[in-house]
């Protein structure tokens, strides 16, 4: 059986990490072999890069340097975690993948999208998720949620206009790649969002078996 690659995307405060865990638990209970991972992260090197990228001490990082660091992390992630798991026939669920780079560094920072695509091709070898679930939420609600749980990192401190551009980027990607993306309303409660995601993934798995 060929593995399945699922990514969950969204702006800050959408509850992605919670939904990744809930989906992981659901699929494991159904008997699937599941690897839960995240970006930047997933490997020893990638975690170190994550710490650098999100640290408040890295506020002076240049956008292109930021782009290359995210992709350096992704190279390790793909080679060490994602591809081996897919080759074993596992389901890989990642909290963010390349679409976040397009949204944050492309739409958010203003880096040319063709440059981002070229770098991503090197980092991923052209790998894309089989299905991407975008949890959409208005920016102020997302940022307020994160403040309420005392989450603070470098991206949290960006101006609201930056986060608005990022959200616009995600929605543009979802519109462009409608066969891969499914958008879920993130303004509802955790269980409602989970049930919607569970339905989407279950339907996808059913369609693969037909």
Half-sphere CA count of 112, side-chain side, radius 13 A: 4
| pLDDT for 210 | 42
Please state, in angstroms and rounded to a whole number, the distance separating the CA atoms of residues 138 and 210. Answer: 37
Q: Is the pTM of this model over 0.85?
A: yes
Q: Which of 164, 172, 179, 174 is nearest to 134 (CA)?
A: 174
Q: What is the pLDDT of residues 71-95, one digit of tens each?
A: 999 999 999 999 999 999 999 999 9
Please state, in angstroms and rounded to a whole number, the distance separating the CA atoms of residues 149 and 20. Answer: 18
CATH numbers and ranges of domains, the chain: 4-209 (3.40.50.300)
Asked if residue 68 lies in contact with residue 118, where contact means CB atoms within 8 angstroms, the answer is no
Q: Percentage of residues in the chain with pLDDT exceeding 90?
A: 82
Please state, in angstroms and rounded to a whole number, the distance separating the CA atoms of residues 7 and 126. Answer: 15
The segments of the chain whose pLDDT lies below 70 read 1, 146-152, 209-210
């Amino acid at each position: 059986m060929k593995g399945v690659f699922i990514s969950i995307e969204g702006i800050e405060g959408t509850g992605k990490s919670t939904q990744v865990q809930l989906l992981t638990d659901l699929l494991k209970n159904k008997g699937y072999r599941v690897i839960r991972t995240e970006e930047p992260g997933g490997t020893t090197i990638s975690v170190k890069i994550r710490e650098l990228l999100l640290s408040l001490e890295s506020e002076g990082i240049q956008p292109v340097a930021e782009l290359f660091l995210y992709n350096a992390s992704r190279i390790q992630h793909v080679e060490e975690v994602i591809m081996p798991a897919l080759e074993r026939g596992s389901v890989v669920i990642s909290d963010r993948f390349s679409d976040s780079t397009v949204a944050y560094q492309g739409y958010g920072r203003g880096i040319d999208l063709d440059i981002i695509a070229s770098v991503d091709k090197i980092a991923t070898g052209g790998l894309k998720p089989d299905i991407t679930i975008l949890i959409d939420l208005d920016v102020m609600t997302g940022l307020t949620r994160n403040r309420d749980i005392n989450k603070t990192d470098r991206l949290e401190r960006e101006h609201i206009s930056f986060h608005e551009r990022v959200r616009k980027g995600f929605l543009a990607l979802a519109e462009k790649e409608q066969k891969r993306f499914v958008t879920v309303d993130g303004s509802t409660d955790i269980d409602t969002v989970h049930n919607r995601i569970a339905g989407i993934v279950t339907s996808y798995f059913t369609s693969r078996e037909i």
